[in-house]
Structure 1
Amino acid sequence: MRVVSRRALRLGLCLCVVALGLALGCKSTEETEQAEDSSSASKTVQPELASPSSTVRTIQLYQGDDEQSLPVTSLSGGSGLTLEFDLLEEQGRPLSVYFQHADRTWRRDLSPGQTLESFQDDRLVDYRSSRGTDVSYVHYRYRFPNDDIRFRVSGNYILRVTERGRRDSVLFEQPFFVTEEDGGLQLGAEGFPVPGQQQPSLRPRARFTPPSPIQGDPFGHAVCFVRNGRLADTRCADRPLLMRQPELEFELERERAYDPATAEYGLDLSTLRPTAQVARVKRTPPPIRVFLDPDYARFTEASRGPRLNGQTVVRGALSARADPALTAEYVETTFAFVPSGETPYERPPVLAGSFSGMNPRWGTRMDWNVDRRRYEGSVLLKQGRHQYFYSTSASGLEEGERRSKVRRRNTYTAFIYYRDSQYNTDRLLRVEDFRP
């Protein structure tokens, strides 16, 4: 009797699924098991970045001239990306910038030689000192892709700024995306009630038609969703619902849906005078100090201000001023947060926002003011518009926000990936925003 090896048997088997009278595809048992092993159907991923230097402030990375846009550029060119940041120093100096490809889970993988067509790094030589400001700083600006930096592979990327020619002397890192803008995409969302929660949770859904050269490989695709530019809370689905080939449908599982528990606030520092949000301003001694009206956990109208998609806006906020990137002041801004019942949480909240990459890891810990019965914390911010939020692992904050009856409109971004065996990484096929 002929004996067939286990590996040969597995490679020879094919899983064929038929639903509603339609043939939905065929994959080997080994491939199916690999897809299931690497998939929990819905995951949270985030970029692991080097902590920024204490001298670095107001990092902006956006598309073209739109400061509110996420840093997404196309392989075919387009408007490219703009990087701006400040060093809180008296004198500037040339710096270096490097680029590292990553898969959709932000695992750094391909070498620059595989992903870049020209040079593997570039110099930052466009920098100027601030003019007439209480706090001195040096402003840097850099545009790419350019004649020296061109990408040949789509996907997630990490930009690293360092001291000149010293790759490991890191000042900061920032994520960005290079997309192929290929395939057809339809986006939507399903809201569903959750016990004890006034507002419904929301489950984003994507329907994608792959480009013809890669149709027929549904398990090679995945979709990731981001809400309000918070890349630190990226949620992915890597198991398509094979409804109609070649069209693929993805949705987050219910337990990974977005609940309305995180209130996000907007701050406008374009005018340094008392406003509906600014309680008082103290101009001497420098730096200028601004004290904000408190944010209350039990009131959600405090989630005021513009929707910035996780970005800081400087030029657009101070457009009436000549060269705002160089003349905007740095302001010591004091935030106040009053928990429900004016009772402190088990663990203090962290203040985070567009000034910290929307990542609580780099946020500012709030201190409890016993006399005022509230948390307080200060951050040195550049004049402009900022987005911020409070975060804590204690349950009190989220429970209070879940009871809120105010509906907040959010911006979601969908990222469509394809696992390419040629490069052994994830290509980024398409990126698109939607506001359900």
Structure 2
Amino acid sequence: MFRKKIVLLFMILSFQMFAQKVNEVAPPYYIKSVSINTGAESVYPMFRLGDYFNIEFDDLMAQSSNYFYKIKHCNADWTPSNLQITEYLGGFNDMQILNFQNSFNTLQSFTHYKLTLPNSNTRFLISGNYIIEVLDDDGDIMFSRKVIVYQEEVGVGVTINRTRNNATIDSKQNVAITIDYNAEAYNNPKENFKIAIMQNGRFDTSITNVPPQYTIGSQFIYNYDTETQFFGGNEFLYFDNSNITQVNNNIAKITSTDIYNSYLYPLPPRGLRQYSYYEDLNGTFLPRNKFRNDAATEADYAWVYFNLPTEEYVGKDVYVVGMVDNYLLTDRNKLEYDASEKAYKKAILLKQGFTSYLFSLVDSKTKKIDFQDSIDGNFYQTENDYQVIVYYRGIIDRSDRVIGFGAAKSLNITN
């Protein structure tokens, strides 16, 4: 009996050691405008346990295909947890998405799908990291998205400061954190608490595995400098083609073929310019047709032509990123260099409305984003949103729970 327990323990430890992190799957070319939202506008994918949110997308094949969803629970490091489905979900998994409608009065036909969670068939039982997969009739994953479901058992205070390093004081922002907890409720919290820090809801740039710098009573203090720094970046670029036939401050020209074409004004790199504040939406997108009521089915699609005039970056690629493409680096949002015009260009099929985005410089070999030499520069004044997630796993727990959530804006940055 003792030997069987040893073997079982070894198997569990081996699974945890060699489990692969789950990455998000980018959708195929005909699945567009994937959005996690609580209304029309996309939001950061972090929700209080019991709160409702939607996952919406368009299928340009417009054949009213059958799609299904699966939900998987993950640990703090996004490896699959050991939990059975019935331990983290109430109801059913692998259910069909039944809420869909065909587009109306648009040049580009599509079918719009909407999944609301929790629903009458599926509800989250516990907090934690989740991967939500959307599959087709054959069981192939069309795309997947990470979502964090949290509880507020501990208090999480977040402030954004300028760094204390003269070399980065004008380009980086530092996140200071205070966690208030009930010492009697948690076993060895200094070892069993974990945090994740995110800028503008991005999983790809999150900072993890930072221990408390020190403890005061039942408070953990994270008042580091370099360990919790982010490059400030610059304000997001944006355009609004809610009136798809009209030019504006960001759209230079409109043409029409089978569908509309929106040509954006050329935007040279802003890195050498002085910082200029303007209110933006930090990467979000909002489908909208100025003359229709239901953007889900009545907002059309247009080819949007991006233009970045600059010398070619040797050994680097340029991508257009934002929540509209989930910050994933794919060929569909990779710009091509036009040597004759000395500009990076790309036409991307996007749903009509308000879209904010960035140009990202990416190493051609490693596929890592070069934040230090950002195309549009780094400024400590840039308005960014920060989120802090607190995880806990007790001695007998088999997964990480999310027990705290905090947020702050760098608009109120302090010295």
TM-score range, shorter chain: 0.7 to 0.9
Q: 2:31 aligns with which of 34, 56, 60?
A: 56
* 2:5 alignment partner in structure 1: none
Contact 1:336/1:374 (8 A) holds in 2: yes
With over 3 angstroms needed to count, the CA separation of the structure-2 counterparts of 1:432 and 1:318, relative to structure 1, is farther
SS at match of 1:360: coil
1:355 aligns with 2:305: no
Name the CA distance, whole Å, in 1 between partners of 2:164 and 2:217.
Answer: 31
The answer to whether the Cα contact below 8 Å between 1:207 and 1:247 also exists between their aligned partners in 2 is: yes
Contact 2:177 2:223 in 1 (8 A): yes
Structure 1 range deviating more: 148-157 or 346-355: 346-355
Q: Select 2:340's aligned residue among 368, 371, 383.
A: 371
SS at match of 1:248: strand
Partner of 2:65, secondary structure, is coil
* Residue of structure 2 in register with 1:132 after alignment: 105
Alignment check: 8 A CA contact 1:61 1:84 kept = yes
Q: State whether structure 2 residue 156 is matched by structure 1 residue 181.
A: no
Where does residue 424 of structure 1 map in the other structure? 398
**CA pair 280-144 structure 1, distance change in 2 beyond 3 A:** same
Report the AA paired with residue 336 of structure 2.
Answer: D
Structure 1 position 331, deviation (Å): 0.6
Where 1:85 maps in the other structure, the secondary structure is strand
Q: Structure 1 residue 267 and structure 2 residue 239: aligned?
A: yes
Residue 408 (str. 1) matches residue 382 (str. 2): yes
Point out where structure 1 has 5 or more consecutive residues left out of the alignment.
1-37, 39-44
Given the alignment, which residue of 101, 125, 130 partners 1:152? 125
**Could you tell me whether the CA contact under 8 Å between 2:242 and 2:290 is conserved in 1?**
no
Query: Partners in 2 of 1:172 and 1:249 — Cα distance?
Result: 38
Secondary structure class of the residue paired with 1:146: coil
- Distance, in Å, in 1 between the alignment partners of 2:333 and 2:215 is 46
**2:71 paired with 1:99:** yes
Partners of 1:269 and 1:301 lie apart in 2 by 28
Report the 3-state secondary structure (helix = DSSP H, G, I; strand = E; otherwise coil) of the residue aligned with 1:325: helix
Q: Secondary structure at the match of 2:362?
A: coil
**Aligned: 1:257 with 2:232:** no
Offset of residue 407 of structure 1: 2.8
> Does the aligned pair in 1 maintain the 2:239–2:251 contact within 8 Å?
no
RMSD across aligned positions (CA): 2.9
Matches within 5 A, 1:6-405: 48-62=23-37, 64-65=38-39, 67-75=41-49, 77-78=50-51, 80-109=52-81, 110-164=83-137, 166=138, 168-192=139-163, 199-211=170-182, 212-214=184-186, 216-251=188-223, 254=226, 257-261=229-233, 264-272=236-244, 273-283=246-256, 285-298=257-270, 307-314=280-287, 317-318=288-289, 321-339=292-310, 342-361=311-330, 364-393=333-362, 398-399=372-373
CA–CA distance in 1 between the matches of 2:374 and 2:144? 34
SS at 1:113's partner residue? helix
Q: Deviations over 1:391-422 (max 9, x none)?
A: 22359984365866683111111111112343
Residue 300 of structure 2 aligns to which amino acid in structure 1? E
Shift of 1:217: 2.1
Inter-partner Cα distance in structure 1 for 2:374 and 2:167: 11
Deviations 1:301-336 (A, max 9, x none): 89887533443212xx44762211111111101101
Aligned residues of 2:234 and 2:378 also touching (Cα < 8 A): no
- Larger mean CA deviation between 387-396 and 413-422 belongs to 387-396
The two structures have a TM-score, normalised by structure 2, of 0.83
Q: Deviations over 1:196-220 (max 9, x none)?
A: 6572411212111124521652211
Tell me, what secondary structure is at the counterpart of 1:420?
A: coil
> Aligned letter for 1:418?
Y
| 8 Å contact from structure 1 (residues 68, 308) kept in 2 | no
Aligned residue for 2:204, secondary structure, equals: helix
Report the CA distance between 1:152 and its aligned residue. Answer: 1.6
Deviations for 1:15-56, whole angstroms, at most 9, x for unmatched residues?
xxxxxxxxxxxxxxxxxxxxxxx9xxxxxx996122312221
CA distance in 2, matches of 1:396, 1:343: 15
CA–CA distance in structure 1, aligned partners of residues 332 and 404 of structure 2: 31
Query: How far 1:358 moved relative to its partner?
Result: 1.7
Structure 1 residues 81 and 298: CA distance shift in structure 2, 3 A? closer
Query: Using the alignment, how far apart are the partners of 1:149 and 1:60 within structure 2?
Result: 19
Query: How many residue pairs align between the two structures?
Result: 384
> How far did residue 271 of structure 1 move?
2.3
86 and 303 in structure 1: CA distance in 2 versus 1, 3 angstrom threshold = farther
Identity of aligned residues (%): 19
Could you say what secondary structure the match of 1:387 adopts? strand
What are the ranges of 5 or more consecutive residues in structure 2 without an aligned counterpart? 1-16, 364-368, 411-415
Specify the SS of the correspondent of 1:393.
strand
Q: Write the letter of the residue equivalent to 1:337.
A: L
Whole-Å Cα distance in 2 between the matches of residues 83 and 117 of structure 1?
19
1:303 and 1:134, CA in 2 relative to 1: closer, same or farther beyond 3 A?
A: farther
- Helix, strand or coil at the partner of 1:218: helix
- State the distance in 2 between where 1:220 and 1:177 align: 19
Give, in angstroms, the shift of residue 91 of structure 1: 1.6
* CA distance in 2 between partners of 1:151 and 1:403 (Å): 41
Q: Aligned with 1:359: secondary structure?
A: coil
| Residue 379 (structure 1) shift | 0.8
